[in-house]
A and B are shown apart, each in its own frame.
Chain A
Amino acid sequence: MAHSPHSVDLLRFNTCGSVDDGKSTLIGRLLYDSKSLMDDQLEALERSADITGGGQINLANLTDGLRAEREQGITIDVAYRYFATPRRKFIIADTPGHVQYTRNMVTGASSANLSIVLVDARLGVIEQSRRHSCIASLLRIPHLVVAINKMDLVNWSEERFNEIRYQFEEFLPRLDMKDVSFIPVSALNGDNVVDPSPHTPWYSGPTLLGHLESVHIGSDWNLRNFRLPVQWVNRPNNPQDPHLHDFRGFSGQVAGGIVRVGQPVMVLPSGFTSKVKEIWTLDGSLKEAFCPQSITLVLEHDIDVSRGDIIVDMEDLPGSSTDLHAKICWMHPKPLQVGKKYFLKHTTQTVQAAVTVIEHRINITTLDQEPGAPELAMNDIGEIRLRTSKPLIFDGYAQNRLTGSFILIEQGTNATVAAGMLHPPTEIAQPEYKDFAI
Chain B
Amino acid sequence: MSSYYLDHLQYLETEAIHVMREVAAEFEKPAILFSGGKDSICLLRLAEKAFRPADIPMPFLNIDTGHHFPELNDFRDRRAKQLGGKLIIRTVEEALAKGIAVQPPGQISRNQLQIPTLLAAIEEFQFNCCIGGARRDEEKARAKERFFSFRDAFGQWDPKNQRPEIWNLYNARINPGENMRVFPLSNWTEMDVWEYIRQEKLEVPTIYFSHKRLCVRRHGQWLPVTDLLPPKPGEPVEELVVRVRTIGDIISTGLVESPADNIDDIIAETSVARVTERGSRADDKVSEAAMEDRKKAGYF
Chain A interface (Cβ within 8 Å of chain B)? Answer: 1, 3-4, 6-10, 38-41, 44, 47-48, 65-68, 76-82, 84, 89, 91, 103-104, 106-107, 110-111, 218-219, 223, 231-232, 234-237, 239, 241, 244, 247, 249, 251-253, 258, 280-283, 290, 292-294, 307, 331, 343, 345-346, 348, 350, 401-402, 405-407, 409, 414-416, 419
Contact = CB atoms under 8 A, between A and B. Distances in A.
Interface band, chain B: 35 or more
A223 B24 CA distance: 27
Nearest first, the 8 closest Cβ-Cβ pairs linking A and B are A7-B7, A65-B140, A294-B17, A40-B279, A10-B8, A414-B173, A67-B289, A107-B164
A236 B55 contact: yes
A7 B8 contact: yes
Given A38-B276, A40-B279, A91-B187, A251 B168 contact: no
Contact of A235 (B54, B167, B279): B54
A49 to B, nearest CB: 12
B3 interface: yes
A9 B276 contact: no
B114 to A, nearest CB: 22
B53 interface: yes
B143 interface: yes
A414 B171 contact: yes
A107 B154 CA distance: 27
7 contacts: A7-B9, A223-B4, A232-B51, A241-B53, A251-B50, A294-B18, A345-B169
B206 interface: no
B171 A416 contact: yes
B174 interface: yes
A325 B55 CA distance: 41
B288 A293 contact: no
B41 to A, nearest CB: 15
Contacts of B74: none
Contacts of B24: 232
B243 interface: no
B276 A40 contact: yes
B143 A81 contact: yes
A331 B140 CA distance: 24
B109 to A, nearest CB: 20
A416 B163 contact: yes
Looking at A41, A307, A407, the one whose CB has the most chain B CB atoms below 10 A away is A407
B160 A218 contact: no
B257 interface: no
Interface centre among B15, B53, B136, B288 (most CB of A within 10 A): B53
Given A414-B175, A419-B164, A218 B1 contact: yes
Contacts of A247: 53
A77 B162 CA distance: 9
Contact of A231 (B18, B162, B174): B18
A231 B21 contact: yes
Interface string B160-204: 101111111101011100000000001101011001000100000
B262 interface: no
B76 to A, nearest CB: 22
Contacts of B171: 345, 407, 409, 414, 416
Contacts of A47: 288
B141 A405 contact: no
Contacts of A39: 274-275, 279
A110 B171 CA distance: 15
B55 A407 contact: no
B8 A293 contact: no
Given A110-B167, A294-B14, A414-B175, A66 B21 contact: no
Given A66-B159, A76-B160, A294-B21, A107 B7 contact: no
Nearest to A411: B173
A144 B46 CA distance: 33
Given A10-B11, A80-B186, A82-B189, A292 B165 contact: no
Contacts of B17: 253, 294
Contacts of B273: 38
Interface of B: 1-15, 17-18, 21-22, 24-25, 48-55, 136-137, 140-141, 143-144, 159-160, 162-169, 171, 173-175, 186-187, 189, 191-192, 195, 199, 273-276, 279, 288-289, 292
Interface centre among B2, B54, B173 (most CB of A within 10 A): B54
B54 to A, nearest CB: 4
A331 B166 CA distance: 11
A80 B51 CA distance: 28
Nearest to A241: B53
A294 B276 CA distance: 31
A89 B273 CA distance: 17
Contact of A84 (B12, B174, B189, B279): B189
A239 B84 CA distance: 12
Contact of A232 (B25, B166, B167, B174): B25
A292 B6 contact: yes
Contacts of B13: 294
A165 B76 CA distance: 58
A104 B1 contact: no
B171 to A, nearest CB: 5
Contacts of A1: 3-4
Nearest to B198: A6
Given A9-B8, A38-B276, A66-B159, A107 B49 contact: no
B5 to A, nearest CB: 5
Contact of A48 (B9, B55, B288): B288
A348 B25 contact: yes
B187 A82 contact: yes
A41 B140 CA distance: 10
Nearest to B5: A218
Contacts of B191: 84
Given A292-B15, A348-B25, A407-B166, 11 more contacts: A1-B4, A7-B7, A10-B8, A66-B140, A76-B160, A81-B137, A82-B136, A232-B25, A232-B50, A307-B25, A350-B173
A66 B187 contact: no
A282 B48 contact: yes
A406 B52 CA distance: 29
Contacts of A281: 49
Given A76-B160, A294-B17, A237 B55 contact: yes
